[in-house]
Structure 1
């Protein structure tokens, strides 16, 4: 795992989160007027007493998915794994200042915006970012997780 890969995946975090939401809506059928029916309305009467299924997709539903939906589901899972990877990396940083800068980087803020947020210069933000990336590069567990994600990508 090198510096460029870490920078790229952190900067792509917001995009992946939005794409996961979009793909989830497509798969669940919300965007196409699916059977969810009463969005935002509490059930009443007999519907309120009926058991509800889980939000996950059952095996029988997976068997019925068409080819496009399977691809969307695979892509969504890949993005979710990467998002989980980026979020887990934040816990590895011990310094609260580094955690704040990392969080702002995940939100897509510029150096100037991060500096204004925590009242430091852009140059100090750049140095903190370099410290973050160096710490993450040197973490063996994170490197193994990254290699696992890349190996999974090659198998698919």
Structure 2
């Protein structure tokens, strides 16, 4: 999975979130002919649905080889954007206090600092401070995940 590892990258991802969501929908319509609901990007199924055979929602290796260059670039962009959107959405409602969670939601929705501050009846400076806190939490979590993945890879290579 694509990992956001710097403050600037996370900040840009938050700013571009709405655009990335729209682009994911657009690319899915171009590539697959329909959109794939985000909750189906990797959710386990239970009961009879889990036992029944299904076709893949993605492209097979044979189809990927036959794609032209433009389609392959679109498919690769779709995978990257999905990963970024998933990273950002995984932090929804994960902050310790309600105002920070509200600020994060509003930032993802493209609200301005001033509009968020007016809604919460706080200062713009408070909103900016909370945004910096949010970015620090995401960067720290992603760095920890990078370290854990590197440790796993090292362990697997040692065997």
Instruction: Name the CA distance, whole Å, in 2 between partners of 1:124 and 1:4.
Output: 20
Instruction: Name the CA distance, whole Å, in 2 between partners of 1:78 and 1:89.
Output: 18
Residue 5 of structure 1: CA displacement? 2.2
Match of 1:24 among 18, 23, 28: 28
Name the counterpart of 1:76: 78
Residue 57 of structure 1: CA displacement? 3.2
Q: Which has the larger radius of gyration?
A: 1
Gaps of 5+ in 1: 31-51, 149-156
Question: Contact between 1:85 and 1:145, CA under 8 Å: does it hold in 2?
Answer: no
Name the counterpart of 1:12: 16
Name the counterpart of 2:88: 86
Gaps of 5+ in 2: 35-53, 150-159
Residue 63 of structure 1: CA displacement? 3.9
Residue 84 of structure 1: CA displacement? 0.8
Residue 54 of structure 1: CA displacement? 5.7
Residue 23 of structure 1: CA displacement? 1.1
- Number of equivalenced pairs: 126
Residue-by-residue CA offset, 1:43-100 (whole Å, 9 max, x unaligned): xxxxxxxxx9664434443343222211110110011111111111335422221111
Correspondences of 1:93-108 after superposition (within 5 Å): 93-108=95-110
Over 6 Å off, 4+ runs: none
Instruction: Name the CA distance, whole Å, in 2 between partners of 1:117 and 1:146.
Output: 36
Correspondences of 1:94-133 after superposition (within 5 Å): 94-133=96-135
Instruction: Name the CA distance, whole Å, in 2 between partners of 1:6 and 1:29.
Output: 31
Residue 24 of structure 1: CA displacement? 1.2
